[in-house]
Amino acid sequence: MMDNALKALKSRDREMVLLEHIIAVLHWDQETGMPEAAVNERADQLSMLNGLLHEKVTDSDLGSILNDLGASDAHPLGD
């Protein structure tokens, strides 16, 4: 069960990292070379991606995975 939970955590972490990188690239493009006429579209794109990232970070299944791996308020992972 621990192996499955660790695989699930790594998979979810990878998705969140990829979303963060996509968001960073869109921000970079917005600041360096994006046409001014694209501002509203980019805002919608970033809003959607940030919403997806928020859903992944706050997903209750993620908490369950962390609990399966032994994390708790008293014993956070990494301590």
pLDDT for residue 77: 62
Instruction: Quickly list DSSP for 53-77.
Output: HHHHHH-HHHHHHHHHTT--SSS-T
Q: How many CA atoms lie within 13 A of 20 on its CB side?
A: 9
Q: Which residues of the chain have pLDDT under 70?
A: 1, 76-79
Kindly report the number of other CB atoms within 10 A of residue 65's CB atom. Answer: 19
Cβ-based neighbours of 22, under 8 Å, separated by 6 or more: 49
CA dist., res. 7 & res. 18, Å (int): 17
- pLDDT tens column, 35-47: 999 999 999 999 9
pTM of the model: 0.82
The SS3 call for residue 78 is coil
